[in-house]
Structure 1
């Protein structure tokens, strides 16, 4: 064999080896980023960081006439009912683009990609504790969003073609080994964990939470907090400013009263300061509405509504949508100081009543 033929053969073999993984992804395309599923699986995979890119391309970009709304946020927004959003908010084909543990930068990247189509007219956007962090470019440390999948430049998708995990999922899709992992759009990302809710509100756990609350310093009327506003300035305001024809419904998710009373004063006031700053920044935009639910006792004061200090039940998610649709619990910048003062009183009463009730229970058991 001549040297030339040897080199050609070697290059051909090398190209084939390199092209095989990409070919499998092109054919299998587990997250439907390149095309719709070719193998009869109905629905989508539950890996939100990758699947959201496919939802944007296959639903929002390909079918703009059927989808005019999106939901953005973390796992706290994953139990929203798509059908309820359609009916009560009068939205058309809402698409849930939430990511568990998502950072503000990651949510902004997804929002930018989804809004690029021009068909989205309504957004429900969760504003959680990640907006209080210092670094506006931070990604999740263990499961960062694959930014290349949300890039406007399609050339960046070469990394999707050669990602080993994607190749494995593509093979399973082709040979239909992951059929049971596909979910319909209504149930995608939803989580139901009744045992976790029962455990959190169990007498043993409540007793433990009460001990922690008794040992924690009470929240003061005013304390120093960190003024980290860059996540608002970099990952929220520019998107709202660029899409003033879109209705943005921002909401602060309700934290359990145990979670708030166990928060350090510095973190509590960092949160309050950040939210006040947000309200001031968005006050100039008539297309923005902000909702806050921490004053509603039926949410935060009831431990049975939570599976931990912050994650609330699907029933609470339904109530949030209902109240937003009715325009209840909307908050404005000039109302925020009074809101916080009322919240502090409620938390003080919750702490006193809970600990007093515990003392009375202990007293009765000793007698």
Structure 2
């Protein structure tokens, strides 16, 4: 091919490419599958499951005056239900696994429309665990800016082209899950809520997450992320009402974090205090804390894993926000943290019936255990060494399996793996009695655990177990030592 023929071919090829691009671009602009430019009127909308992409169009092109921001913890909010309780016209803009940067980008796009009067924001500490200077690896930021010159990334995205074709050709009665905006990305009906599954996940997480605390972000970095992506929106929009809430994870989720990543746990407490200090400077902001509400966080049957709860809990959160329950104030901000810390220090786990708070008192003095009490076959197990100290008994261990507790003339002998305890009173071994512990003494969570009631009863004058309220048990032991 000579030079003239080559130039002719090149011109034709270039012209063909330009025409093809014009056709594709025009097709995408008109169909606009994610509704970036306008709300769909040519065809019944077929929404995308990719929230990071779809939310840009929802924020830009739909009518609303209230938006919901947050992670998967907010996906089970039903906008029509929120409207019935809080009023307004609600648009849910949740993003599964999102960071504060991503939530802020969606929120800013919606706020820039001038339509927003209220923001309901489920604020996870997890979302702020990112480098303050990091760029999003998953978020299509070109869909959230006001630069028309990078829209080619939307118009010529092959996934979007395919979605446009599906939107035009899929019968309206099909793909119903992606046509109902009220239930878009709501996973309540598909979830399997199970206390047993939560407990199983908890046991595995305590092992799996053992090294998670090695690379925790500094508190200063987390504060900077909050300032950049959350506080900035508040400061820029004093005319908008911001309602934040801290999502209620199971108490077991909090326990694993505290056990495997104590720096994260301390940062979480500190951030609640810091965020409230910033929120309190603005009259258009309120914050609600549901993470210490044991009627939610101990009800493991409402969760599908350690974190994610049912739609019923989302509905309860909305109702209680409307009622002003769990509102954080200057008078109670520290009490919320203290309550969660108390719950964790008194946590007991029954692999059959769930979690509860356990308070043990010896001669009216509270006993605190270093690991959660556990329940096996109806028997509450606690660390035997710490129990012995509380009872005022001398603790002895032979280094392999035998434990001896001695107080005065009473000696209790226990063996690892055995559910029997020998109690000798006085020096006559012939008078020794065998006591059924109900469950074998064994190593759990790195501590030798024993059934508290029969073990303590060997040294007690009296022992009483009560349940003063749901998810709470008290054991009161009297030894007579204080008398």
Provide the TM-score with structure 1 as the length reference. Answer: 0.85
- 1:319, CA displacement in angstroms? 0.4
Match status 1:90 vs 2:84: no
> Does the 8 A contact of 2:73 with 2:308 survive in 1?
yes
Higher helix share: 1
2:393 maps to which residue?
none
> Mean Cα displacement is larger for which, 235-244 or 147-156?
147-156
Higher alpha-carbon deviation: 106-115 or 173-182: 173-182
Does residue 1:50 correspond to 2:53, yes or no? yes
Give the corresponding residue for 1:63.
none
Alignment deviations for residues 4-39 of structure 1 (CA, whole Å, 9 cap, x no partner): 754542321121233343233224322111333355
Quickly say closer, same or farther: Cα 1:340–1:225, change in 2 above 3 A. Answer: farther
Greater strand fraction, Structure 1 or Structure 2: 2
Conserved in 1, the CA contact under 8 Å of 2:99 and 2:130? no
1:120 to 111, 116, 119: 116
Deviation at 1:173, TM superposition (A): 2.0
Q: Per the alignment, do residues 216 and 11 of structure 1 end up closer, same or farther by CA in structure 2, a change over 3 Å counting?
A: closer
Name the counterpart of 1:266: 263
SS at match of 1:289: strand
Rate the CA distance shift 1:195–1:44 in 2: closer, same or farther, 3 A.
Answer: closer
Cα 1:335/1:139, change in 2 over 3 Å: farther
1:242 to 233, 236, 245: 236
2:305 to 295, 305, 308: 308
| SS in structure 2 at match of 1:197 | coil
Cα contact 2:155–2:161 (8 A) shared by 1: yes
Indicate whether 1:346 and 2:349 are aligned.
no
Pair 1:192-2:194 in alignment: no
Is 1:68–1:121's contact at 8 Å kept on the other side of the alignment?
yes
1:162 Cα deviation (Å)?
1.2
1:291 is paired with a residue whose SS is strand
Q: Residue 99 of structure 1 corresponds to which residue in structure 2?
A: 95
Change (3 A) 1:139 1:98: farther
Q: Matches of 1:216 and 1:338 in 2, distance apart?
A: 28
TM-score after normalising by structure 2: 0.66
CA–CA distance in structure 2, aligned partners of residues 245 and 326 of structure 1: 23
Partner of 1:220: none
- Assess if the C-alpha contact under 8 Å between 1:134 and 1:230 holds in 2: no
Check conservation: 1:81, 1:186, Cα contact below 8 A.
yes
Indicate the RMSD between aligned Cα atoms, in angstroms: 3.0
Shift of 1:47: 2.1
| Alpha-carbon distance, 1:358 to partner | 2.8
Q: Which moved more, 1:153-162 or 1:38-47?
A: 38-47
273-282 vs 168-177, greater mean Cα deviation: 168-177
SS of match in other structure, 1:250: strand
Q: CA deviation at 1:276?
A: 1.3
Residue 334 of structure 2 is aligned to residue 337 of structure 1:
yes
Q: 1:110 aligns with which of 93, 96, 106?
A: 106
CA contact (8 A) 2:201 2:305 kept: no
Gaps of 5+ in 1: 61-66, 218-223
1:334 Cα deviation after fit: 4.9
Matched, 1:286 2:283: yes
Q: Which runs of 5+ in 2 are unaligned?
A: 211-216, 349-356, 359-371, 381-436, 441-483
Indicate whether 1:357 and 2:357 are aligned: no
CA contact 1:136–1:235 (8 Å) conserved in 2: no
1:77 aligns with 2:80: no
Aligned counterparts, 1:154-303, within 5 A: 154-176=148-170, 179-180=174-175, 182-192=178-188, 196-198=192-194, 201-202=195-196, 206=199, 209=202, 226-227=219-220, 228-263=222-257, 264-303=261-300
Q: CA deviation at 1:126?
A: 1.2
Q: Is the 8 A contact 1:291 1:331 kept in 2?
A: yes
How far apart are 1:216 and its partner, in Å? 9.9
| Match of residue 32, structure 1, among 30, 35, 38 | 35
Which structure 2 residues correspond to residues 126-141 of structure 1 after superposition, within 5 A? 126-138=122-134, 141=137
Higher-Rg structure is: 2
Work out whether residues 213 and 258 of structure 1, in 8 Å CA contact, stay in contact via their aligned partners in 2. no
Q: Contact 1:27–1:174 at 8 Å: present in 2 too? A: no
Instruction: Provide the C-alpha distance between the structure 2 equivalents of 1:343 and 1:120, rounded to a whole number of angstroms.
Output: 34
Supply the distance in 2 between the matched residues of 1:172 and 1:14 (Cα, whole angstroms): 24
Aligned length: 349
Structure 1 residue 335: deviation in Å?
A: 2.7
Taking the aligned partners of 2:201 and 2:8, their CA distance within structure 1 comes to 75
Q: Which residue of 1 aligns with 2:18?
A: 15
